[in-house]
Amino acid sequence: MNVFDRTYLRVKNTIWAWLTDEEGDVNVVSIVVLIGIAVVLAIALKDRLADLIKDLFTGMNTGDINKSVDFH
């Protein structure tokens, strides 16, 4: 077996091991759950977030952000 064959087999085995590895599945599920929670919160707080963003942009245009944001 020459050097090329050994290198080919090593690369093939490494790629196969990487493709069949199932270690990251829990991370994918947790990321999907966190994105779902963020979407639900964004929908629930849509009006308050829109008001906050509008106040921030108004404050940036007037030059006084601290007085434009009303924390109620």
**Contact (CB, 8 A) for 47 and 37:** no
**How far apart are alpha carbons 8 and 5 in whole angstroms?**
5
pLDDT at 69 (0 to 100): 59
- pLDDT of 51 reads 87
Which residues does the chain have with pLDDT short of 50? none
Q: Which domain holds residue 51?
A: 3-68
Indicate the number of domains in the chain. Answer: 1
Other CB atoms within 10 Å distance of the CB of residue 48: 10
Q: Model-level pTM?
A: 0.43
